[in-house]
Structure 1
Amino acid sequence: MRRMHRSVTNIFLLNVAVSDILITVLNIPFNLVRVLSEEWPFGSLMCSVIPFIQVAAVYSASWTMVCIAVDRLIVTVYPLRPRMPIHTGIALVILVWTFSILGALPYALIHQTVTAISFTTSIRCIAIFPPPEVTYRRYLSLITFLFQFCIPLSITGICYGKISQKLWFSHNFFSVNTGLLNGGFLSVQNAGLIIRNRQRSIKMLILVVVVFATCWLPISVYHLRRDFEDLNGPTSHSIFLFLLLHWTAMSSTCYSPFIYCCWNSCYRSQARIIYGFLCFCLPKTSAKELRQQVTIRGLVVRFRGNTRDTAGSDELGNPSQNGMKSFNWDSVVGTREMLSFHEGHRTYRTA
């Protein structure tokens, strides 16, 4: 991971990506076999492991989104507080996975292989609950629905609601940073641009959460309704409906990369480098182009690729002073801006 990208938010996003990969690689093909086939050919161990990993991965993704929302809330609403250190973010990821494993452990214990005898003898992977079976099934389904879906998404929604109120509806968002404005380093135009960049990053994160919730809500409600209805009734289970809802839930793993590429230019640049090695038809981004950016206490500043020292106008259309390099605020990932910094013998400022 590049040094400029070692932020707590990116650690959390990486953890969400790991959860998506686990769901994609280990759950989709095995679950299709379990539902469509009359035979479970993968043994008793995989019968317990596959449901366990699926539940744990969804737990991890939903609670990691909570961590992202809380981190963004602290950064936006309390900008003068110290940023969350990297080791704290790693500790939170470990805590999230510990909770996810505990929440998914019952699914590993109840799934077993059984021998089904009808016209032929076959081995199947099913969930076997201890007596009273209906009560345990309903308790587990309700607890999973609450802690895997409702509670984390409610916390996430509250956090992003407060962030949106601060970014879009607060007229004194920069009141805590009036010293920066009065100090002459930050113009009103640049301040507005920083706000817009933060709004863009928050929109991206909100979109990720909305897509996740939209994909997983139908299958969650389906499981909850099935377990609380008469299990022997004619509508208790439909293979076609289950496959449709299951496919919708699994499809959530493929949307996030497209969202990041569309909304985050740094992610897009890195993706072009990675996929450029795999596909020669894609335009490649050079390492020199990526070096045209710096990170100052969480603030990413990307220099114009075609601009060196200039006495013309900057990215905002303002005249550059004293031959200073012009640049734009491409991606703002923090709120503790240092608006004057040094690179060798040069000094860069925003005005």
Structure 2
Amino acid sequence: MHLHTTHRRMRTVTNCFLVNLAIADLLMATLNGAPNFVFLVTAHWPFGAITCTASNFTANLTVSAGVFTLVAITVDRYVAIVKPLQHRLSRKVARAALLTVWCASALLALPSLLYSDTYKKQYINGEREICFIKWPDGSYPTSRADYCYNLVFLAVTYVAPMSVMVWAYARMGATLRGRAIGECTHHQMQVVRAKRKNHWKR
């Protein structure tokens, strides 16, 4: 019964993370993917300034949320494999983690919400509207703020998460190589014996 309850809790927590990934992908597809596809094909942004802001903000928001959710999944798997006797994430903790993921993602995407704009550009075949991010010191490629933001975004959403996940999966791989799946390691058996001894001493 205990194993069944633990498995059900693990499945529920994992489902929370997977649903969160699906929501992030759906937002990306509807609010960023479709409008940008039109923009790439026509080189014209016909959706207005509000949609421009929403599209740029959604892009950074959902990318960050997706990456942070993958890190949360990795941590959950790491605890399950490397430290199976440690308390697993509950649904309440998982929801709190997802709330933190979206708050951190919104904070990271905030500049695109504040500085996105549209402007009209004259081409040989007529005037077209462009959606872009105009920083206080200018726009790409002359803006230093844009350069620094992209470096921070790269570090926070790629370098740091990738480092954490590579390290975690390396540890999980080493743990699984050291034992057959479903068996306890020598250290874990010692912990179990110690807990049993303490229980009987009471």
TM-score range (shorter-chain normalised) is 0.7 to 0.9
Gaps of 5+ in 2: 1-6, 193-202
* Aligned partner letter, 1:34: F
Provide TM-score, normalisation by structure 2.
Answer: 0.79
Alpha-carbon displacement from aligned partner over 1:204-249 (angstroms, at most 9, x marks no partner): xxxxxxxxxxxxxxxxxxxxxxxxxxxxxxxxxxxxxxxxxxxxxx
The equivalent residue for 1:157 is 166
Structure 2 residue 131 is the aligned partner of structure 1 residue 122: no
Offset at residue 4 of structure 1 (A): 4.2
Offset at residue 123 of structure 1 (A): 2.2
Query: Residues of 1 paired with 2:12 and 2:92: CA distance?
Result: 10
Q: Give the helix-richer structure, 1 or 2.
A: 2
* Aligned partner letter, 2:47: F
The equivalent residue for 1:71 is 76
Structure having greater relative contact order (Cα 8 Å, sep ≥ 6): 2
* Aligned partner letter, 2:163: S
Query: Residues of 1 paired with 2:184 and 2:152: CA distance?
Result: 39
The equivalent residue for 1:136 is 145
Aligned residues: 178
Conserved? CA contact 1:76–1:166, under 8 Å = yes
Offset at residue 145 of structure 1 (A): 0.7
Conserved? CA contact 2:179–2:185, under 8 Å = no
Aligned runs of 1:75-90 on 2, under 5 Å? Answer: 75-90=80-95
Conserved? CA contact 1:8–1:85, under 8 Å = yes
Query: Residues of 2 paired with 1:15 and 1:177: CA distance?
Result: 36
Identity across aligned pairs (percent)?
27
Conserved? CA contact 1:23–1:57, under 8 Å = yes
Offset at residue 174 of structure 1 (A): 3.6
Q: Secondary structure in 2 aligned to 1:27?
A: helix
Offset at residue 92 of structure 1 (A): 0.2
Q: Could you tell which deviates more after superposition, 30-39 or 171-180?
A: 171-180
Greater radius of gyration (CA): 1
Gaps of 5+ in 1: 181-351
* Aligned partner letter, 1:95: T
Conserved? CA contact 2:27–2:58, under 8 Å = yes
Query: Residues of 1 paired with 2:74 and 2:191: CA distance?
Result: 28
Alpha-carbon displacement from aligned partner over 1:98-117 (angstroms, at most 9, x marks no partner): 00011111112222011223
Alpha-carbon displacement from aligned partner over 1:245-289 (angstroms, at most 9, x marks no partner): xxxxxxxxxxxxxxxxxxxxxxxxxxxxxxxxxxxxxxxxxxxxx
